[in-house]
């Protein structure tokens, strides 16, 4: 019995020291990389895997060009768009952190989650929507999402194919009506002859950017199989510039 008590005592001490060690490691991570999971508050991590997976609530496929349910007669020449969730709650918070708060470590895990949720067997290349030429962001969040999807689908992600032809101002900060003023030929593309493309973007609002991207791919002799976005924002007149301040 004394022997068993000794084992039990040793086991308890080991568990205590493991707990303390784990806690110190997380504290050190937080000191070196001051990130906190926006859901559970765990320090030293941009978002826990379980917390990130809690946002998965795929929307029914919708038309990438007009936003209506995919399959209607008016969308016969369009492509399906798949969104992991609505732009609200935790999903919105994660995207804001990735896009505006420099939490770039979120990008690839978010993309992997998109790749695990959706599949397009016809695709042979992932193309992220490019950053606006006049934008000031240090990295392209859509490329990070595409790289995460690439790891799951095992097809390349290429951010050199699509490009903005003009200095179009970023869409964030514009109302719905002003977004619609983007020229249809605002984007260009390198040759995509014979390529089956999946376009990747962070959010679907009016579809204006994606219409320009689809047009550019088609003019470059490519075929857009589908579009993947992290979230879909319900159309409104709200100004996205207010997102960061909320």
Six token digits for residue 173: 């900060």
Tell me which range, 20-24, 167-171, 227-231, is most confidently predicted by mean pLDDT.
227-231
- Using an 8 Å Cβ cutoff, are 226 and 198 in contact? yes
Query: At 69, is the pLDDT very low, low, confident or very high (cuts 50, 70, 90)?
Result: very high
Render pLDDT for 7-17 as a digit per residue (tens, 0 to 9).
Answer: 445 455 555 45
Can you tell me the distance from the alpha carbon of 200 to that of 147, in angstroms, rounded to the nearest whole number?
Answer: 10
- The tokens describing 53, both together, are 């997976």
Chain-centre distance of CA 163, in angstroms? 19
**Interval 102-126: pLDDT, tens:** 899 999 999 999 999 999 999 999 9
Average pLDDT over residues 83-92: 96
Please give the pLDDT value at position 46: 86
* Closest by Cα among 135, 191, 194 to 162: 191
pTM: 0.79
Indicate the pairing of strand 125-128 with strand 62-63. unpaired
The Cα-based distances of 28 to 16, 17, 45, 49, 240 in angstroms read 18, 16, 11, 20, 35
Q: What are phi and psi of 47, to 5 degrees?
A: -170, 130
Residue tagged 């918070």 (tokens) = 93
Residue 68: partners with Cβ closer than 8 Å, 6 or more residues away: 62, 74, 75
**pLDDT tens per residue across span 180-236:** 567 878 999 999 999 999 999 999 999 999 999 999 999 999 999 999 999 999 765
Tokens at 43, concatenated = 């320090």
């Amino acid at each position: 019995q004394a022997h068993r008590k000794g084992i039990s005592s040793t086991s308890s001490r080991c568990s205590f020291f493991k707990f303390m060690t784990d806690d110190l490691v997380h504290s050190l991570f937080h000191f070196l990389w001051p990130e906190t999971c926006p859901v559970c508050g765990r320090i030293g991590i941009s978002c826990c895997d379980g917390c990130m997976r809690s946002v998965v609530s795929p929307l029914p496929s919708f038309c990438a060009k007009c936003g209506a349910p995919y399959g209607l007669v008016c969308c016969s020449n369009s492509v399906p768009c798949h969104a992991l969730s609505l732009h609200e709650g935790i999903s919105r918070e994660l995207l804001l952190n990735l896009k505006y708060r420099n939490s770039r470590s979120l990008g690839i895990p978010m993309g992997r989650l998109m790749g695990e949720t959706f599949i397009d067997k016809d695709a042979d290349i992932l193309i992220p929507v490019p950053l606006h030429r006049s934008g000031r962001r240090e990295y392209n969040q859509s490329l990070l999402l595409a790289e995460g999807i690439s790891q799951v689908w095992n097809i390349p992600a290429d951010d050199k194919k699509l490009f903005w032809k003009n200095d179009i101002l970023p869409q964030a900060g514009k109302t719905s009506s002003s977004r619609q003023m983007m020229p249809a030929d605002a984007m260009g593309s390198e040759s995509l002859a014979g390529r089956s493309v999946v376009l990747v973007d962070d959010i679907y609002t009016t579809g204006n950017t994606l219409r320009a991207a689809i047009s550019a791919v088609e003019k470059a002799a490519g075929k857009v199989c589908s579009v993947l976005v992290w979230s879909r924002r319900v159309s409104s007149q709200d100004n996205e510039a207010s997102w960061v301040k909320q």
